[in-house]
Amino acid sequence: MENRNKIAFVTGGSRGLGKDMALKIAGKGLDVILTYHSKVDEAKSVVEEIKAMGRRAATLHLDTSDIKSFSSFTSALKNTLNEEFKGDGIDYIVNNAGVGGYSPFPEVTEEMFDSLLNIHYKGVYFLTQNLLPILNDGGGIVNVSSGLTRMSVVGSSAYASMKGAVEVFTRYLAKELGPRGIKANSIAPGAVMTDFGGGHLREDEGLQKFVAGATALGRTAVADDIGGVVAFLCTDDAGWVNGQRIEVSGGMLI
């Protein structure tokens, strides 16, 4: 079976950056399948917004830390593609789902480390591996990294280490999947006002002023600043962009 319209698969697409990515991708004319961890009503709302734009959309539950569930999830995704999209493949994978985890290095526990490892690196690695057979040739992968791989902030050693690993993984994807015409890139947002990490930045005006002062464009980012870059990478216009880390921080700490 062949689907005429391209499809993007976005993890963590129910809110925050993932929601904006999903909507911006739909705005480029793609259909979207998004996942949620616990916010099913919010995920359904995003699906309805996308459908109102004239595109097809669906949502599935996924715990990106549960690597053993990826095989059954992939089967569920195949069923969704078959039943709702009349196709059998996806064109873009956007690995966005994540959680915050901030603690000074001496206080990082093995439990905290393993949780971040499973969600931000091991999950990204093996979910992508599971989805590879249904990723169409000529498609693309976008992995969400962080500005913290470039700028060091106390309390972020574990989280940033996982994101650094994702950036290396992305370059290897670009190399190994190149023969199939599949591109792989990572984006690295700076500080963004969402509910990520408990919404600390969104609620702390003093921190917002600090971030704005450290940013060349003079303000703190919102989700709307990020999604368009991901959407661009899910188009043919980005067909020659491959193996790159694209920082989307407004020029923070340059």
Positions marked active-site: 145-146, 159, 163
Q: Would you tell me how many other CB atoms lie within 10 Å of the CB of residue 172?
A: 11
Q: What are phi and psi of 171, to 5 degrees?
A: -65, -40
3-state helix, strand, coil in the chain (%, to 5): 50, 20, 30
**Identity (one letter) of the amino acid at 151?**
M
> Which of 37, 3, 16, 82 lies closest to 230, judged by CA?
16
Separation CA 200–CA 220 (nearest Å): 13
Separation CA 242–CA 170 (nearest Å): 9
Separation CA 114–CA 245 (nearest Å): 25
Render 177-213 in DSSP notation, one character per residue. HGGGT-EEEEEEE--EESSGGGGHHHH-HHHHHHHHH
